[in-house]
A and B are shown apart, each in its own frame.
Chain A
Amino acid sequence: MIYTIRNSFLKSRPTGLMSYVRKSTSGSSAMDYNRFLNPFSAKREPSLIRELTKIYANSPPGTIFLAGGLPNAGTFPFAETNVKLKDGTTFSLSGRSLEAALQYQPTQGYPPLVKKLKEFQIKTHNPPNWDNYEMIITAGSQDGLCKTIEMSLEEEEPIVVQDPIYTGTMAIVKPFRSRLIPIEQDKDGMCPDALRKALQNFFKDQDKRSSKGVPKLMYINPTGANPTGSVLTLERKKEIYKLACEYDLLILEDDPYYFLHFQKENPVSFLSLDTEGRVMRYDSFSKVLSSGIRVGFVTGPKPLVKMLELHMQVSTLHTSSLTQVIIHNLLESWGPEDLHGHFKSIQTFYKSKRDIMLDAAKKYLTGLAEWTVPEAGMFLWIKVNDVVDTYDMVMERGAKKNVLFVPGRAFMTDPSQPCQYIRASYTVPTPEEIDTGMARLADLIREEKDLQK
């Protein structure tokens, strides 16, 4: 290990990571992970000091470590932390657990939490070939997604995305001036036929794997897609997975609403189907435990997760230790049953809010708009009848009417095209606010139709 670092230090080409990448592909002969690294990220190298820390962790007792860069946690002003949960559970951090919460942690994450989340993933998804995967805790799942795209995408390279698409993903992709290959979705998620057609068209005259300028990444938000609320069915996932294999695509499974579904069972994820090692999965605690504390986790093939680690080593270092230790304690205190119970209570909570909005929509918008019942997530995706584009209606006239929605154009892969949709969120407003809001929307739509005449 030492000599690998040394070699990569001394030579101008980074042998350290690439030989790691080559070794790791031996487990799955189909996957060449080198293909998914852009030339920039391929040049990242491990931090010698972070590697030294790992060496120390495995060194014999009695080894004296004067190589660290840690401040002394004794200088931090905290003596003890006590956390009370709503269900009455309490836990406190002091001594070593407090020090862990206040000190630098390994980039991958607070080790007990990483261990727990690995157990969680195995239990929840039971991915095939688990030994080929690694996990890393990120400052929110979006940072994992962002760093993956920054690792892989090259300038002007196309990327397959579901359409409409989460605006955050657009923001990540935009600077690359990437050509988006939009795949339509309906209430059951991305349409495999549309995907097949789009890929066939694109690759008509190009060799699948070797050309530059072919898509390598496919972004999917399968559960409670933002903004449509669609839930991708298992049958479709299997078809889409087959296509990903055929065209050698990585599937970026962005699943922050995975536990916010209104179905009987948890959906079956792409990760569970991943026989070839082509899924990078992004999980989040933002919608189920807390959004502000920034904890997400990435599960994916070892060489690719390792690349994310290298980028994090020089940027965020790791997500807040305090957050990680608190989450770990919470998961320990609760155990899998209580956690499951918590998810169920959240699902019930949001389902009732969804239903309040659906009732209000029926009451005020019948005849004016159409929508399908979202099976997961936080949003209602409303198609306004007889209105060509909702942008000004929402942003100007809606604002004047003291009601704010998101115009559908924000989610279109081609924002220059008119869009009839708006996105309404049912998570936070009170029932009264939802009622008033939808009533104002009805007025807005009627006025808009008059304006158009």
Chain B
Amino acid sequence: MSGMRNMWQLSGQILRKQKPSVITDYSYFVNDLAKGRKPSPLRELMRMLASASSNVIFLAEGLPHSDTHPFNEARFDLKDGTSITLSGKLLTSALQYGPTEGHPDLLQKLRQFQERFHNPPGFDDRDVIATVGGQDGLCKTIELCMDFGDPVIVPSPTYSGVLAMMRPYRPKFVTAAEDKYGFCPYKLREAINKYWSHGNSVKAPKLLYLNPTASNPSGTVMPIERKKEIYEIACENNLLILEDDPYYFLHFDNSEPQSFLSLDEEGRVVRFDSFSKVFSSGLRLGFMTGPRPLVQAIEYHMQASVLHTSSLSQIIALQLLNQLGWDGFIKYMKKIRQFYMERRNHMSEVASKHLQDRAEWTVPDGGMFLWIKVKGVLDVYEMVMSRGVHTKGVMFVPGHAFMPDPTKPCPYIRASYSLASYEDMDKGFARLAELIDEEQHHQAQR
């Protein structure tokens, strides 16, 4: 790697010592549109401002004056009795434009966060940036990498949001069913071989999308052994792994799962974290961790679009993390875990009570959802969307929303246990039982 390096290339010096096949040129993964993106000169000037000495008179920035902000103070009283007060300089930075990648103090904290929970190999070649929710990082990564008609690897079922993100590209979904531990490496290999065996397939898949902890909708948690195998498959097939992990702390185990990021010796993992299930979904605060060239490209896109995620949200999260400390944070997440686990237990009981012989399900190992397979019914769409809504007054999500191919008949439904009262859960499942009985009766008659 001599002299001139473009933005897509890394020296990979750190990782190269361990694994010679580390990725050093990311341009392969990026589409032409994204390659045409350039840094916005004004945002680059903002960088100069941030590092300029106090002697410099800066007449370049387009910042509104903080005197014109009508806010004086914002105080957030927390449930544990402590509070976060934003006033003076802190309030000013919460209300003012900031760097695209995120407030420097928050970024420092997030880097520490990633080191503590994942300790990624070769961390220096990676960047962390704050995004408008984890999903915007994911969406921008899809928009960075995908081309029309690309093959892309996803599990079945998978998060409906990512399918919606990808569908305008008319992708060829390379997919295999999950089992109770998530994406199965053996089935994944089969699916990839099947894709290549079609012969006409010219394009190689470049992306592998996973939601490994408390997968939406199935609630599976992928064990580390599987992750290692799947990582090997990604290396063999030169794939980027999009590790979408908003429920990372919502597993029901005793300790945090080991992530793909922690295994990433070749620089293949782009990880999406979120505070939506941790501090607040409304704050719209997530963060993306990945190889520098890819994260930088996302930053350029953000420069042209959202500019940065809400400074107020960033400052609040920073204060919370500082006040909690790591031990406090872990204790705090344990409480949340306990909360969702109790609700899961209750919904499992209610399901057992009403759905015996009518359906099958695996008790989820994390998250907010129960993934139910209705017995004796080939396709639940009309049952759920029409009869369920209008006749029985109960709403679930038909499994089609989570299938790469929604045209195939699907017997699954997703039920959420995060919000409903226990009484509503009971009523809801009683109505579901009636629905299923009627549906099975209809099917028998046809």
Contacts and interface: CB of A to CB of B under 8 A. Distances in A.
B117 interface: no
Contact of A104 (B62, B281, B300, B335): B281
A242 interface: no
A294 to B, nearest CB: 5
B63 A81 contact: no
B136 A316 contact: yes
Contacts of A103: 280-282
B74 A81 contact: yes
A445 interface: no
Nearest to A99: B282
Given A291-B97, A293-B312, A320 B283 contact: yes
Interface string A24-67: 00000000000000001101110111001001100110111111
A59 B395 contact: yes
B313 A322 contact: yes
Interface residues of A, number: 115
Given A9-B400, A81-B76, A292 B94 contact: yes
A238 interface: no
Contacts of A62: 393
A316 B394 CA distance: 29
B310 interface: yes
A70 B418 contact: yes
Contact of A48 (B74, B75, B397): B397
Given A67-B416, A83-B74, A320 B64 contact: no
A425 B60 CA distance: 6
Contacts of B416: 66-70
B64 A287 contact: yes
B36 A405 contact: no
Interface string B241-281: 00000000000000000000000000000000000110111
A159 to B, nearest CB: 14
B93 A292 contact: yes
A378 B67 CA distance: 14
A82 interface: yes
Nearest to B312: A293
A43 B216 contact: no
Given A104-B281, A315-B140, A65 B59 contact: no
Contact of A320 (B98, B312, B395): B312
Contact of B284 (A59, A74, A139, A434): A139
B394 A64 contact: yes
Contact of B75 (A82, A155, A403): A82
Interface in B354-396: 368-369, 381, 385-386, 389, 393-396
A122 interface: no
A85 B95 CA distance: 13
Given A64-B427, A66-B420, A437-B57, A428 B306 contact: no
B160 interface: yes
Interface in A1-31: 2, 6, 9-11
A367 interface: no
Interface string A408-445: 00100000000000011111110001101100100000
A420 B391 CA distance: 72
Interface in B58-81: 58-65, 67-80
A168 B419 contact: no
Contact of A440 (B52, B57, B335, B398): B57
A387 interface: no
Interface stretch (B163-171, B201-209, B226-234): B163-171
Interface in A203-222: none
B296 interface: no
Given A75-B336, A410-B41, A410-B42, A66 B160 contact: no
B63 A428 contact: yes
A9 B407 contact: yes
Nearest to A406: B60
A175 B37 contact: yes
A48 B160 contact: yes
Contacts of B52: 404
A426 B64 CA distance: 9
A174 B59 contact: no
A292 B95 contact: yes
Residue from the set A10, A68, A379 with the largest chain B CB neighbour count within 10 Å: A68
Contacts of B69: 86, 289-290
- Give the size range of B's interface with the partner: 35 or more
Contacts of B310: 139, 292-294, 319-320, 322-323
A84 B73 contact: yes
A143 to B, nearest CB: 5
B406 A9 contact: yes
Contacts of B431: 64
Contacts of A146: 304-305
Contacts of B151: none
Nearest to A77: B78
B22 interface: no
B309 interface: yes
B41 to A, nearest CB: 5
B428 interface: yes
A2 B397 CA distance: 13
Given A2-B385, A70-B419, A81-B76, A86 B280 contact: no
A52 B395 contact: yes
Contact of A77 (B48, B80, B368): B80
B284 A316 contact: yes
B39 to A, nearest CB: 8
Residue from the set B57, B93, B309, B313 with the largest chain A CB neighbour count within 10 Å: B57
Contacts of A424: 59-60
Contacts of B74: 81-84, 326
Interface in A299-328: 313-323, 326
A272 interface: no
A146 B302 CA distance: 10
A426 B60 CA distance: 9
Contacts of A379: 62
Given A71-B276, A427-B64, A428-B61, A316 B306 contact: yes
Contact of A76 (B65, B67, B280, B389): B280
Given A66-B394, A70-B419, A290 B71 contact: yes
26 contacts: A10-B406, A59-B393, A66-B425, A67-B415, A72-B418, A81-B75, A82-B75, A84-B72, A103-B281, A104-B282, A139-B284, A139-B309, A139-B310, A140-B307, A143-B305, A291-B64, A294-B307, A313-B164, A314-B164, A315-B139, A321-B284, A349-B65, A399-B56, A404-B59, A405-B59, A425-B61
Across the A-B interface, the 3 shortest Cβ-Cβ residue pairs: A321-B282, A292-B311, A175-B36
Interface of B: 33-42, 45, 48-49, 52-53, 55-65, 67-80, 93-98, 132-133, 135-136, 139-140, 148, 160-161, 164-165, 167-170, 216, 276-277, 279-284, 300, 303-313, 316, 320, 332, 335-336, 339-340, 343, 368-369, 381, 385-386, 389, 393-398, 400-401, 406-407, 414-420, 424-425, 427-428, 431
